[in-house]
Amino acid sequence: GQIIKLEDYLPADFVIHQVDMTFDLRDGHADVLTRLVMQRREGVAAEAPLELDGDELSLTSLALNGTPVSPQNYTVAPDSLKIDDLPAQDQFTLEIGTRLHPEQNTKLMGLYRSNGIWCTQCEAQGFRRITYFLDRPDVLATYKVRLEADKAAAPVLLANGNPVASGDLPNGRHFAEWIDPHLKPSYLFAIVGGRLDVLKDSLTTISGRHVELAIYTEPGLAERATYAMDALKRSMWWDERRFGREYDLDVFNIVAISDFNMGAMENKGLNVFNHKYVLLDSETATDADYAGVETVIAHEYFHNWTGNRITCRDWFQLCLKEGLTVYRDQEFSSDERSRPVKRISCVHTLKANQFPEDQGPLQHPVRPTTYREINNFYTATVYDKGSELVRMLATILGEDKFRAGMDLYFERHDGDAATIEDFIACFAQTANMDLSQFALWYNQAGTPRLTVSQSYDAKAGTLTLNLQQQLDKGAAGTGTLPMHIPVRFGLVGANGQDIAAEAASDDARVSGDTIHLTTASATIVFTGLNQRPLLSILRDFSAPVQLQYEESEADRLALARLDPDAYGRWRALTDLVGDSLADAARQWAKSGPQTVSDTVLGAIVEAADDTSLEPALRAQMCSLPGETEIARLVAEDVNPEIIHTLRLQTLARLGMLGGETFRSLRAELAEPAGEFSASAASAGRRALRNCLLAPLSAAAGRPDDAAKQYAQATNMSDRMAALTVLVHQFPQELVSQDALTDFYNRFESDPLVLDKWFALQAASPNADTLERVEALLHHEKFKLANPNRARAVIGGLAGANPSVFHRADGAGYRWVCGVLLQLDSLNPQTAARMATAFRSWRSMNPALRQQAEAALRQLAASENLSRDLRDIVERTLK
């Protein structure tokens, strides 16, 4: 495939002022007529041809200013349309007819049908699968869309913008017309048609605009969008309050779709969602599902300003809208729920998803400079690290200057297709700061190591801190210059309070609770200390770095107990537990079975029981890191089998130590039946209660508690927690099989819940899991073409079942590659995404490395790999 480079960016030769489209939706095909009002851009050579993008298109008509274009004046192929002899200066209209086959579109890009519903997905390059177009984000136009369909098949017809007309047509057909008055790039285009239920509401914006809100679902499910609607309204109000951003159309529509590649899509005024992020109630969804819906609803809504009103100049700038919008949705959740709990869960996600990406063969900077397939750059680095960079900017500037920079960005770039440089320039201006060193964060890939050491001089009453940053060259081969790292910290006294310390040296700037490290190394001396303080370092995870800090077990235990900063307590305990497990796993590989000390596990029991902390935070503190997380900490020559056994044994020991405490906590936290609330506080209590079930069951070595909880569960969080313990810890027991059968019988007709049933079995560490998963592929409810179902089974195994995926005989690797090859022929984007499970193969032990490489090489040797999957496989092998 061809490599696209940022440095080659040039604006298009032509501009598109206006787009008018008519969709004639029929069973079996759809005819699209697109009328473009265009003009050669000033300064472009008069003889330059117009080259439009296409993808698997078939042209049915082509006219210029109303007259058919003669065949010698154009060249057409499924992926391009080139037209010569266009006017040198004047505006012209081009009419392009295309015929589509939505039912056959299993890539789920462009126009397709999901359970009979016509819908579209155009980001990043799906619009070129609908019509020939300048399908690039810097081509902005206003759109008018007319939809025609059979009234019974599609009583609901939606498009971007505001509805302007509708009515009946002969032969049981009808039409609807929509106008989107806002300039937009083609990737934000959307239409939907189908038999849909609707949940309606409305809201008045801060300046008095009345907005009709609607969430459309498949028949019979609208009631399950109640929480999503509530989250939408809260998002709209929050964006007014926090960022001064108001909604700008008369309607805001959301449609929930069963077959969807992404989580959701922010199309202007017509968000299309994976139904997973819309539909829920307490019987079918876990608390994590509720939080996910809230986050994604907010995220897509916030895109209206950060993404839609201000979009990206080119796809290299993806983080301009995604990193910023993730930052905004994280802030929303922090304000709506608990700030430390949200921060901890974001840090957890970043370390689990982005750190391995940064340390492996798929490494790329937050703003990449080359790609072969843009679909493969919707990554944790662009999204989650991208958000961390915005968060650092806010830390460096402080709240007021950050907000002023955002205001300037909205004002200056409204209606633009902008770049990261544009974004940063707004903050440099409002803060009157040179941010060029900060900007390195966007261009240099990799996770810097932040090495910290301290020494206390009792006589002088000083604490000397040395901080060093180092960035190694990784797969991306980008620069390694020192960056601006904001390091938040606290010096904690024995009484559990922060000591106000004076910095004596200005080697690196200390302002308030932040050290600004801008050089490779810096030494800072704090004076006036009459006791050795505990150093609470990198509070709030103020920079996405790998902390290397020789911290004694005693200090970590003390901070886990004393740090007045909740994040700091979690950090100290998590590092203590994680390092202990990683050390034990390394040692085990050399010299046989190891254990984690009771002192460490005792600190977990203490945290679980600390009523000064909110339950959700206690749940975070007392959940052992997962096997993949432990593998990440082990870092090289990983043996997943050892990690699996070590973790299970540690869980059992924790359950023994915590036995009485955990049991009485579980009794206290039990909710009276029938009193379900989805609130963060209730969810936190369930989280704590449920996270204690795993150690208690492991200690007992019996499934009784879990079986009882499963039988008595009145909500999905409790039910899933119990079923997970049964399937993970007691896969062979009859009660576990019975529970799985019961779960299936209860929820057979509910696809979202059934995904959980598939995923859970794929994630079972049992010896016969591969055979079972193979059987699941032939289950009557399995459908490879449905991304959620494919992700449940393939992702359940490759992403959530390390001891089976990394089986010593390589059968796990081969099975995953085999299914990916099948999936690739249907849906390349989803196949490529699942293939990233191999990104850490080089950190495995030599025998596993060999197996993984062999499986990947065999996959790479397949002839018909999509560009998407080939790109991932080849980069992973490099």
Active site residues: 300
192 contributes a contact to ligand DPP by CB under 6 A: no
Instruction: Output the smallest distance, CB 322 to Zn ion, in A.
Output: 5
Lookup: tokens for 438: 């900060």
Q: Count the neighbouring beta carbons within 10 Å of the beta carbon of residue 734.
A: 10
DSSP designation for 350: I
Select 122 or 646, whichever has its Cβ closest to ligand DPP: 122
Instruction: Output the smallest distance, CB 720 to ligand DPP, in A.
Output: 26
For 115-204, strand residue ranges (E) read 117-121, 141-150, 156-159, 162-169, 173-184, 191-194, 197-204
Q: Please tell me the distance from the alpha carbon of residue 381 to that of residue 89, in angstroms, as a whole number.
A: 43
For the chain, the distance separating the N- and C-terminal CA atoms, rounded to the nearest angstrom, is: 16
Instruction: Output the smallest distance, CB 352 to Zn ion, in A.
Output: 19
Stretch that binds ligand DPP, among 241-249, 258-266, 670-678, 729-737 (CB under 6 A): 258-266
Select 163 or 263, whichever has its Cβ closest to ligand DPP: 263
Q: Please tell me the distance from the alpha carbon of residue 140 to that of residue 418, in angstroms, as a whole number.
A: 12
Instruction: Output the smallest distance, CB 680 to ligand DPP, in A.
Output: 23
322 contributes a contact to ligand DPP by CB under 6 A: yes
329 contributes a contact to ligand DPP by CB under 6 A: no
Select 298 or 406, whichever has its Cβ closest to Zn ion: 298
Select 175 or 383, whichever has its Cβ closest to ligand DPP: 383
384 contributes a contact to ligand DPP by CB under 6 A: no
Site for Zn ion in 664-703 (CB under 5 A): none
**Residue 264 binds: one of ligand DPP, Zn ion, none (C-beta under 5 to 8 A by kind):** ligand DPP
Instruction: Output the smallest distance, CB 263 to ligand DPP, in A.
Output: 6
Tell me the number of residues near Zn ion by CB under 5 A: 2
Q: Please tell me the distance from the alpha carbon of residue 354 to that of residue 375, in angstroms, as a whole number.
A: 17
Name every residue whose Cβ is closer than 8 Å to that of residue 844 and which is 6 or more positions away in sequence: 637, 638, 639, 640, 806, 852
Q: Do residues 785 and 827 touch, judged by C-beta distance below 8 A?
A: yes
Contact flags string 284-313 toward ligand DPP, x per CB under 6 A: ---------------xx--x----------
**Residue 249 binds: one of ligand DPP, Zn ion, none (C-beta under 5 to 8 A by kind):** none
262 contributes a contact to ligand DPP by CB under 6 A: yes
Q: Do residues 25 and 148 touch, judged by C-beta distance below 8 A?
A: yes
718 contributes a contact to ligand DPP by CB under 6 A: no
Select 190 or 566, whichever has its Cβ closest to ligand DPP: 190
Pairing of β 270-274 and β 251-257: parallel
264 contributes a contact to ligand DPP by CB under 6 A: yes
Instruction: Output the smallest distance, CB 423 to ligand DPP, in A.
Output: 17
SS (H, E, C) 444-513: CCCCCEEEEEEEEECCCCEEEEEEEEECCCCCCCCCCCCCCEEEEEEEECCCCCECCCEECCCCCEEECC
Instruction: Output the smallest distance, CB 127 to Zn ion, in A.
Output: 17
266 contributes a contact to ligand DPP by CB under 6 A: yes
Position of tokens 């359970």? 115
Q: Write phi, then psi, for 667 (nearest 5 degrees).
A: -70, -45
**Residue 344 binds: one of Zn ion, ligand DPP, none (C-beta under 5 to 8 A by kind):** none
**Residue 265 binds: one of Zn ion, ligand DPP, none (C-beta under 5 to 8 A by kind):** ligand DPP
Select 25 or 312, whichever has its Cβ closest to ligand DPP: 312
Pairing of β 14-25 and β 141-150: parallel
Q: Do residues 130 and 120 touch, judged by C-beta distance below 8 A?
A: yes
* Sign (positive or negative) of CA dihedral 489, 492, 496, 499: negative
**Residue 545 binds: one of ligand DPP, Zn ion, none (C-beta under 5 to 8 A by kind):** none
Strand order in the sheet with 59-64: 67-68, 59-64, 92-100, 30-40, 14-25, 141-150, 173-184, 162-169
Instruction: Output the smallest distance, CB 619 to ligand DPP, in A.
Output: 28
Select 377 or 841, whichever has its Cβ closest to ligand DPP: 377
Instruction: Output the smallest distance, CB 427 to ligand DPP, in A.
Output: 23
Select 138 or 718, whichever has its Cβ closest to ligand DPP: 138
Instruction: Output the smallest distance, CB 374 to ligand DPP, in A.
Output: 11
- Binding residue for ligand DPP, selected from 96, 225, 265, 823, defined by CB under 6 A: 265
Lookup: tokens for 127: 């619009």
Stretch that binds ligand DPP, among 234-242, 262-270, 459-467, 560-568 (CB under 6 A): 262-270
Stretch that binds ligand DPP, among 260-268, 335-343, 574-582, 780-788 (CB under 6 A): 260-268
Contact flags string 309-348 toward Zn ion, x per CB under 5 A: -------------x--x-----------------------
**Residue 262 binds: one of ligand DPP, Zn ion, none (C-beta under 5 to 8 A by kind):** ligand DPP
Tell me the number of residues near ligand DPP by CB under 6 A: 9
Instruction: Output the smallest distance, CB 123 to ligand DPP, in A.
Output: 5
H or E element at residue 535: strand 534-537
Select 326 or 543, whichever has its Cβ closest to ligand DPP: 326
DSSP designation for 382: I
Q: Write phi, then psi, for 558 (nearest 5 degrees).
A: -65, -45
Q: Do residues 305 and 249 touch, judged by C-beta distance below 8 A?
A: no
123 contributes a contact to ligand DPP by CB under 6 A: yes
Q: Do residues 692 and 665 touch, judged by C-beta distance below 8 A?
A: yes
144 contributes a contact to ligand DPP by CB under 6 A: no
Q: Write phi, then psi, for 559 (nearest 5 degrees).
A: -65, -40
H or E element at residue 76: strand 74-77
**Residue 95 binds: one of Zn ion, ligand DPP, none (C-beta under 5 to 8 A by kind):** none
Instruction: Output the smallest distance, CB 318 to ligand DPP, in A.
Output: 8
- The closest of 356, 227, 364 to 292, measured between CA atoms, is 227
Q: Could you tell me if residue 420 is left (phi over 0), alpha (psi between -120 and 50 degrees) or otherwise beta?
A: alpha
- Helix, strand, coil content of the chain in percent (nearest 5): 45, 20, 30
Q: Do residues 658 and 695 touch, judged by C-beta distance below 8 A?
A: yes
Lookup: tokens for 605: 């029991």
- Separation of CA 654 from chain center: 32
**Residue 225 binds: one of ligand DPP, Zn ion, none (C-beta under 5 to 8 A by kind):** none
Select 184 or 685, whichever has its Cβ closest to ligand DPP: 184
Q: Please tell me the distance from the alpha carbon of residue 158 to that of residue 23, in angstroms, as a whole number.
A: 11
Contact flags string 712-751 toward Zn ion, x per CB under 5 A: ----------------------------------------
- The closest of 669, 570, 678, 567 to 615, measured between CA atoms, is 669
Select 162 or 334, whichever has its Cβ closest to Zn ion: 334
**Residue 513 binds: one of Zn ion, ligand DPP, none (C-beta under 5 to 8 A by kind):** none
Instruction: Output the smallest distance, CB 605 to ligand DPP, in A.
Output: 40
Report the residue number whose CB is nearest to ligand DPP. Answer: 265
What's at 161, amino acid-wise?
Answer: G
Select 138 or 322, whichever has its Cβ closest to Zn ion: 322
Q: Please tell me the distance from the alpha carbon of residue 624 to that of residue 652, in angstroms, as a whole number.
A: 11
Select 262 or 406, whichever has its Cβ closest to ligand DPP: 262
**Residue 123 binds: one of Zn ion, ligand DPP, none (C-beta under 5 to 8 A by kind):** ligand DPP
555 contributes a contact to ligand DPP by CB under 6 A: no
Q: Binding residues for ligand DPP, per CB under 6 A?
A: 123, 262, 264-266, 299-300, 303, 322
Q: Binding residues for Zn ion, per CB under 5 A?
A: 322, 325
